[in-house]
Amino acid sequence: MRLSWLALAVFAFLVSSPAWATPSSCQDQNKNSSDGCTIVNSQFSNVLIPTNLIFENTNVFAYQQTANSPCIYDNSSCNNGGFPTVLLNGDTNKDNVVSQQYTVAQLLAVLTVPQFFVGIDVNTTGGHGTETLEKFDMLVNGSVTYTLGGSNDLGLALLVGNNPGNGYSDDLIRGFNLAGLNSTDIVTFIMSEHGDVGGREQFFLIANVPEPGTLGLMGGALAMLGFFAWRRKSSAAA
């Protein structure tokens, strides 16, 4: 009998423990464990885990700012056409530079598709590996939803000098997606860059549209489908 009462007491203690708190019993899920709320063990179903982005060196004349979407960070030579941007300063280290605030509708108006990436035109007088991108995050309504590696000290070298000329991308940050967001949601970016030894960089939006080769394949497939449909219709009429 005593063992039964002891087991019941242990069960009651565990159930009432803060470690078993539920979203409904915790009004502020940003509090720490001493407040009876913790997100370290991901016990809350609405904990947001940022999606990792991909850093890629292009090394080809693939994208140019003047032919693609506008800059979110610029060096005053971007052709933004009134699109809000942040002019970077000449500091060697630029930490936690916050972009302008954009609505999803505002971004879609220039991108036309929800998937996009960011091109970086590196402006430097140094050799390869002299500048590093320490952070690049995208926030939605104040929460980080996309992050470059999830670290503030990545040491990612910007391999400069590959694509000379104004606005050509030396590097790409891939993996952004606006799908599923409300048109009124607020999007901001945060960037940190170290070791800048030349002019200011351009960070510009690039719509992730199918490449010409992919469009050709899609067109060919549609043409074949149309041909087979015509054949079936002709056979049925005969």
Q: Is residue 42 domain-resident?
A: no
Same domain, 203 and 112: yes
- Residue pair 40/34 in contact (Cβ under 8 Å)? The answer is no
* pLDDT bucket at 40, cuts 50 / 70 / 90: very low
Same domain, 139 and 185: yes
Same domain, 70 and 178: yes
Same domain, 104 and 159: yes
User: What local confidence, expressed as pLDDT, does residue 232 receive?
Assistant: 61
Q: Is residue 62 domain-resident?
A: yes
Average the pLDDT over 58-77 and give the result.
81
User: Whole-model pTM above 0.75?
Assistant: no
- Residue pair 147/53 in contact (Cβ under 8 Å)? The answer is yes
Q: Over the range 79-96, which residues count as b (16 or more CB within 10 Å of their CB) and which as e?
A: eeeebebbebeeeeebee
Same domain, 23 and 104: no
Same domain, 30 and 126: no
- pLDDT tens digits, 119-136: 988 876 655 557 888 899
Same domain, 30 and 127: no
Same domain, 20 and 127: no
User: Cβ contacts of residue 219 below 8 Å, gap of 6+?
Assistant: none
Q: Is residue 233 domain-resident?
A: no
Same domain, 141 and 170: yes
DSSP 81-114: TT---EE----S-EEEEE---EEHHHHHHHHSSS
**In this predicted structure, which of 32-36, 90-94, 115-119 has the lowest mean pLDDT?**
32-36
Q: How many domains in the chain?
A: 2
- The amino acid sitting at 105 is A
Q: Is residue 225 domain-resident?
A: no
- Residue pair 61/68 in contact (Cβ under 8 Å)? The answer is no
Same domain, 100 and 20: no
Tokens of 125: 């007088």
Same domain, 101 and 9: no
Same domain, 65 and 25: no
Distance in angstroms (rounded) separating the CA atoms of residues 222 and 218: 6
User: What is the span of the domain harbouring residue 190?
Assistant: 51-210
